[in-house]
Amino acid sequence: MESLTLLFQGLLDIFQPMIFLCLVIGLVIGMAVSIMPGLGLVMGVVLALPFTYTMGLKESIILLTAIYMSGTYAGCFTTILYRIPGEPMDVPLLWDGWGMTKRGEAAKALGWALVAAFTGGMISSAVMVGMAAPLSQLALSFGAPEYFAAVFFGLTTVVALAGNSLGNALISLFLGLLVSTIGIDSTYGADRFSFGSPILINGVPFVMVLVGMYGFGEILAKIGQGASVVEKPAPSSYKTRFPTWAEMWEIRSTIVRSTVLGTLLGVIPGAGATISSFVSYGIEKQYGKRGSQIGTGIPEGIVAPQIASTASVAGHLVPLMTLGLPGSGATAVILAAFLLHGVQPGPFLFQSPESTQLAYTIFTSMFVSVIGMCLLGFLWIRVVVRVLMIPQGLLVAIVIMFALVGAFADRNSISDVWIVVFFGSLAWIFGRFNIPVSPMVLGAILGPIAEDSFTRSMITFHNDWTVFFRQPISAFLLVLAGFSLLYPSLRSILAARSAQRLKSRSA
């Protein structure tokens, strides 16, 4: 009941003109960046960050979460209509979405995507509201070992899910953790790895690493691909035709399965919208009623990935709001926006009436964002897809300028811009050697929390490292972390075995 009152008050807050304007702008930006191949929702959130410096906290967070939310939806337009996935998360939509378009059912495919985004977004937001208060209560009982174990688990999942080589992913992670140690150490006051440079003495702000590696670095990679002209086939229609209730009832198990999966995967740090989308599609293919037909252009192939990717957004906000732990690039930027306004998200956010109301206003904005993005998608699809017509050269220049000037605006420091250029160039070099970027970024973000909780645990428990295994929650999280590290190897062993079995059977 109290939650409903807080949500209602949040709703009143959201319809204040300035906050509502931020939400709408956020939805439009999110849609624009998710449509453009090569740009992504993380980049959208990163580039919008400088604009939040002069805003209030509510406006800032709502702007960024709206970008994040709508960034998981609009890519479906170009994927279904033009066969151009705006983001990697839209690739599973391509197989069935384009399949339906080829049969002249584009309007129906768009309708399914809209229903999926709406369902996934609304249900997962409701789950988030339900989980926030109990989880924050649980988080209050967390000591340093539990925090360390939670961060450690987050880092291992990122490594496990990051790329083709576990070794490369670990190297990337350790480099990120090392970057986070640069500057004056907070516990002992020692100067570490600054080499006397005034740029490094205050440390490397993780926002600059993010802007560099996701913003500047991705644009460098786009330049490296050369100028590509995307020829768009004329779609039969921009109309959206909704599925009937009976049709939706037929695939109810897909809807439930994908929503649960998307929300749960969202809660796990590192498993972002792309992974949720692919896993959900794969599960549907394997266990769905019409799994064998997935890929031929059936609604389940659109609904499963779209629900999961949108549902993951609310899932990602759970650890951020209740534990103060960002599990993805986008939530790290949202954390940065919180910190810039002097607020630390985490269990204490739910302790005072004012901050609790703030949290619930953000939760309410998620529901409004879902409704808003679906409405915008339904009404303005023709306008939204026009973003594709911006020449790549202009896009490259605009995005790089947003990254550089945005970095400068943070502290009016040219040093920060040098850091962005350095990490952007490093991201491109990483790409050349197949080293994934995301573990390094998350290492730089979570590194200080990991080190601080590790050092505090060691000081409190007199250098007894077994404390991490003696506390039940931290032991459980460390077991999960161990599993997530072993999972890629286990998976490849199992895959090799089943392939061998199939081979011997066919022989």
Partner 1 sequence: MSIRSKVFEILPYVVLLAFATFLYGVAQRFVYTPIPGQIGPDFWPRMIIVLLSVCCVFEIGRRLAFSSAATPAPAAVPDEDYEAEVAPLDLDHEQTHPWFVIAAIAASVLYLAALEWTGFFVATVVYVSVLIWLGGVRRLAVLVPSGFAITLFFLFVFSKVIYVSLPIGRGDFERISLTILKLLGVH
Of 437-496, binders to partner 1 (CB under 8 A) are 451, 454-455, 458-459, 462-463, 487-488, 491-492, 495-496
Q: Is 156 helix (H, G, I), strand (E, B) or coil?
A: helix
Choices 102-110, 176-184, 200-208, 244-252; region in contact with partner 1 by CB under 8 A: 176-184
Token pair, residue 4, equals 């409903």
Amino acid at 363: F
Beta bridge mates, 192: 183
CB of 476 to partner 1, least distance (A): 21
Instruction: Report whether 469 contacts 357 (CB < 8 A).
Output: no
How many DSSP H helices and E strands does the chain contain? 22, 2
Is 502 a binding residue for partner 1 by CB under 8 A? The answer is: no
CB of 432 to partner 1, least distance (A): 7
Beta bridge mates, 183: 192
Size of the site for partner 1 (CB under 8 A): 93
Beta bridge mates, 191: 184
The one among 17, 196, 198, 226 contacting partner 1 by CB under 8 A: 226
Choices 158-166, 310-318, 355-363, 378-386; region in contact with partner 1 by CB under 8 A: 158-166
- Mapped to the 3 state alphabet, what secondary structure does 353-379 carry? HHHHHHHHHHHHHHHHHHHHHHHHHHH
Cα–Cα distance, 115 to 128 (Å, whole number): 20
CB of 430 to partner 1, least distance (A): 10
Is 274 a binding residue for partner 1 by CB under 8 A? The answer is: yes
Choices 118-126, 147-155, 359-367, 398-406; region in contact with partner 1 by CB under 8 A: 398-406
- Mapped to the 3 state alphabet, what secondary structure does 217-266 carry? HHHHHHHHCCCCCCCCCCCCCCCCCCCCHHHHHHCHHHHHHHHHHHHHHH
Contact map string, positions 318 to 357, toward partner 1, x by CB under 8 A:
----------------------------------------
The one among 91, 138, 339, 480 contacting partner 1 by CB under 8 A: 91
When the beta carbons of 54 and 506 are compared against partner 1, the nearer one is: 54
DSSP code for 352:
S
CB of 440 to partner 1, least distance (A): 11
Choices 15-23, 92-100, 248-256, 307-315; region in contact with partner 1 by CB under 8 A: 92-100
Is 278 a binding residue for partner 1 by CB under 8 A? The answer is: yes
